[in-house]
Amino acid sequence: QVQLVESGGGLVQAGASLRLSCAASGRTSSTYRMGWFRQAPGKEREFVARFRWSDLNTYYADSVKGRFTISGDNAKNTMYLQMNMLKPEDTAVYYCAASNSRYGTAPRDYDYWGQGTRVTVSS
């Protein structure tokens, strides 16, 4: 099993920045990639970004490309999401997830989930 704990959410104004962290513990050696998802009120959970430990490869949803940066620190078993130029539409609960598989950006493609951290962006 892998345990994931997010932190770093909060209330900010549009245009501000936040950095989310996801600390992983347990059988982290089994995870091939980690990602961030978000879920706004009344909407489905959606993919935000993905980080691959093996080659540090990253992939982003179009809605956050150029504003968000995902990264990982293998020594700390921690993944980050640097969010710049935040917009009100970025308001959501952000979830950290880990996957044992190589492909897919749907929530079903990820095996482990954190409890989420709330991000609220005011206009």
Task: Please report the pLDDT score of residue 53 as a whole number.
Answer: 86
pLDDT per 10-residue tile (average), the chain, 123 residues: 95 98 88 94 97 91 98 92 98 96 92 97 96
Task: Please report the pLDDT score of residue 102 as a whole number.
Answer: 86
Task: Please report the pLDDT score of residue 21 as a whole number.
Answer: 98
Strands (E), the chain: 2-7, 10-13, 18-26, 33-39, 46-52, 58-60, 68-73, 78-83, 92-99, 112-113, 117-122
Task: Please report the pLDDT score of residue 29 as a whole number.
Answer: 78
Task: Please report the pLDDT score of residue 74 as a whole number.
Answer: 87
Task: Please report the pLDDT score of residue 32 as a whole number.
Answer: 86
